[in-house]
Structure 1
C-alpha cells in the first residue's frame, strides 16, 4: 500500500525545512510553505542557497498567524509578524517573475542583513499577490508563492534509496526539499503518475523537477560536497532535455488536510 511517509515545509525560501506530522493546504500548497523570501536590498533579486550557502543554517519557523520566527548561529531569535495592509510594497524578482510584495520592515531587514552580510530585505507574499505557474503546464489559474515553479514537490522514498545506492552513501531527503514523501512504490514510479489522492485532496502531477547545485549542499552543515554528488550521479542516469530530473511537481485541487500515514491512491 502506498502511504504518505513524510511532510516537510519551508516557510522561508531556501531556509531550513520543518518536519511536520500534519498540515493544511490552501491555494498555494501547504499552509505557510515558502511564503517568505530574502532579497537583495538594492536589486530586489531573490537569494537562495545556490549563491548563499549559509542560508542552509537559517531556521524559519511558521506560526498559525502566518508570522515567522528566525534563528541562526550567533544571532538572537526574532519574531516577525505578517506585514499589515499599510506595509511598504517592494519590487522583487524571482527567476523571470517580477512582483510587488509586502516588506517585513526595518527590524527584520537589519537582522537578515547581519546574517547574510550585505543589505538584505525580508518579504512575504499574501494569497492575492501570488505568481502564476509556468505557462504550458497545469491550468491557467494555477498559482505559486515563492517556490521555484510549483506549489508542491513529491519524491518517492524508493527513488531516494535507488540514488543513494548508486552514489554509494546514504543521502538525506532534505537535500531535495520535497513537501511530500511517498512510501511503498517502486523507484521512480512517480514519473508515471498524472493524478493522485491523499486523504480527501486530489493532486495533479504537472512536471518533473530539474535539479541543481543545491542538492550538493549538506542540509546539516551547509557545506558543498567536493565530488558534486548526488548531482553528478543524477546527471548520468536521470538526464532529460531540461536537466537531471528527481521528483515531481504537483498542484493541489482544493484545500484540506494532510497527515503522515495517510494512504495514497493513484487515480491516473
Structure 2
C-alpha cells in the first residue's frame, strides 16, 4: 500500500535463497546471534576496563543491559571516548582517526533522537540549542557548549572475527593508552560463553580456537603487531599531553598580536580540478566565487559520484594548469600525453545540465565530453568523466558562512566543500613540523607540509595560529571575512608529490591541537562591484582585524603592545 510503484518482487523471491545460503554457511541465524554476541561481549568487557593512570575511564558506554544475554542485547556497542579529565572527545575526531586504521564506525544519533536524549542526558532545550547552533544530521558538529551531540557505534556481523575486535581495541589503546602497560583483565564468563556458543565447524563463524579469548590482554600484547604500531596518538596520554599543551599554549591563539612584523602573502594556489594537484601562481584574478577557475571542474565515477583523494590518492599526480592567454586548461600526468580543455563554457543547445553533489550541497554541472573522459579513464585505470560547474545556477554558500555579510544573497561557491578561500600560516606549519619531526625518522620538508594542507592563500605571520583570532582581513583592495576554522581529514596524510599515505600528520595535528584537527581558516569575500576583476598577488600586505573588531596596527614603540 505504501510502495512507490511496483514492489520489487524479484528481490522478494531472492530472500529465500539468501537465507538458504546463510543457513548453509553459518548454521543458521541462532549461530550468527551467538557468534556476534560473543564478539560484542568480549569488546564490551575489555572497553569497560580501560582506564587512564589516574583511574579515569577511557570510554563511556551507553547501554540498557550489562551484555549478559544475546536475547536482550544485540552485537552493537554505543559509546563515547573520554580524555583523562572525563571530557568527551567529539565523535567526528574519533571517526577520522579510526579511518586511518581502516576501521569504519557510525556516529551521531543514529536516527534515534529519543535514545540520544536519554543516554546523553539532553533536554528538549538542549536539542533546540544544538539546532540553533547549526547542528544537523550528518555533520561533524559533535560538541556544543562542551556537551556531545551524539556518540559512536560499532557493530559486528557474521563475517566479523576475533581479530576485528582486537584491531578495534588496538586502535583505542594505541591512541589513548600508548604509554600504559596496565594489564586488562578478561572476564572468565566470556571465555565460557565463547566455548559454548561458537561452533568450531562453521568456517564463516570462525573456528572456536580462533575466537577463544586469552585470559589476560595487555596493551603491549594488543600492540604486538608491528603493522598496527602508532608513532603518535590523536589525543596524547597525560604526560605527553601536558608537555604539548604547555608548548602550544605559549604560541597558539594569542589574545592580540605580540609583534609588529608585517604579514604578507607568500604563496597562492588554485586547484582547477577538485582534488587534483595545485597550480601555483604569483598573482591571479579574483572572481565572485573565489580565485578564477578554482575548483571549476571535478572528476566523477561511472555513477556520477565525485572522486577525491580519499578514494583515489593518485589524483594528486594529475597536474592541471591554466593558460589565460591561450584560454585553455592543460592537464598532465606521468605516462600520459598532455591534453587541453577550453576555458570557454559550453553553452550550446546540446549541452545537458545535470545535478551533482559536493558534500551536502547540490550543484549544476555538465559533462566535458568523451575525449577527456577517455584520457582520465586511462590515467586512473577506472571509468570516470570530467564535469564542469554550470554558471547558469550558482551554488549558494551555506547560511552559516554568509552570516554577517552585507550581500549574502549574491555570494556563491564553486565546487569547494565549505568556503571560497582557505588560508594557512607558515608559522603554524612550522610549529606542527616540530611535533611531526619527533615521530618520523625522516622529517618532512616545509614545502611538502604546505602542499598537504591544500590552501589557496599562504601567509607568513610572526605568531603561529594567530590567524584563528581574526574576524576579517584585507589584502590590497580585497576584503575577506573569516567564516571559521578548517577541520582536517585524511587528505593531509597523503604526500602530494607521491600519493603515499601515512598517519603521522593527522595524529600530530590532533595531539598538538587538543581534541580537534583544525588547521587554517576559511574566508569569504563579497561580490566585486567593479567590472574589472580584483587581483591577488604574492608579497601583498595582509591587514587583519581581531574578532573584537579591533584593527591590528604595528606597535608605536619598541615595546610590543596589544591593540585596544
What TM bracket, shorter-length normalisation? over 0.9
Q: CA deviation at 1:3?
A: 0.7
Give 2:140's aligned residue.
none
Deviations 1:19-57 (A, max 9, x none): 111011011111111111001122x21111111010010
Q: CA deviation at 1:129?
A: 2.9
1:136 pairs, out of 397, 400, 404, with 400
1:101 pairs, out of 357, 365, 370, with 365
Q: CA deviation at 1:18?
A: 1.2
Q: CA deviation at 1:66?
A: 5.7
Q: CA deviation at 1:69?
A: 1.3
Are 1:76 and 2:353 matched, yes or no? no
1:250 pairs, out of 523, 534, 555, with 523
Cα root mean square deviation, aligned: 1.6
Give 1:147's aligned residue.
416
> Aligned partners of 1:26, 1:181: CA distance in 2, in Å?
19
Are 1:183 and 2:443 matched, yes or no? no
TM-score computed with the length of structure 1 as normaliser: 0.92
Kindly report which structure 2 residues correspond to 1:80-95, keeping only aligned pairs within 5 A, or say none.
80-81=341-342, 82-86=344-348, 87-95=351-359
Structure with the higher strand share, 1 or 2 = 1
CA contact (8 A) 1:207 1:249 kept: yes
Moved more, 198-207 or 89-98: 89-98
Structure 2 portions without partners, runs of 5+: 1-261, 438-442, 547-564
Structure with the higher helix share, 1 or 2 = 2
Kindly report which structure 2 residues correspond to 1:1-268, keeping only aligned pairs within 5 A, or say none.
1-42=262-303, 44-64=304-324, 67-81=328-342, 82-86=344-348, 87-139=351-403, 140-141=408-409, 142-168=411-437, 169=443, 170-171=445-446, 172=448, 173-225=450-502, 228-240=503-515, 243-253=516-526, 254=528, 255-268=533-546
Structure 1 portions without partners, runs of 5+: none
Q: CA deviation at 1:239?
A: 4.7
TM-score computed with the length of structure 2 as normaliser: 0.45
CA contact (8 A) 2:358 2:416 kept: no
Q: CA 1:67–1:129 in structure 2 vs 1: closer, same or farther (change >3 Å)?
A: farther
> Aligned partners of 2:524, 2:328: CA distance in 1, in Å?
24
> Aligned partners of 1:267, 1:245: CA distance in 2, in Å?
20
> Aligned partners of 1:13, 1:230: CA distance in 2, in Å?
22
Q: CA deviation at 1:83?
A: 4.0
The structure whose Rg is larger is: 2
Deviations 1:131-162 (A, max 9, x none): 22222222443321011111100001100001
CA contact (8 A) 1:40 1:46 kept: yes
Higher relative contact order (CA 8 A, sep 6+): 1
Moved more, 30-39 or 58-67: 58-67
> Aligned partners of 1:205, 1:66: CA distance in 2, in Å?
32
CA contact (8 A) 2:272 2:320 kept: yes
How many residues are paired up? 263
Moved more, 156-165 or 33-42: 33-42
Residue 129 of structure 1: SS of its match in structure 2?
A: coil
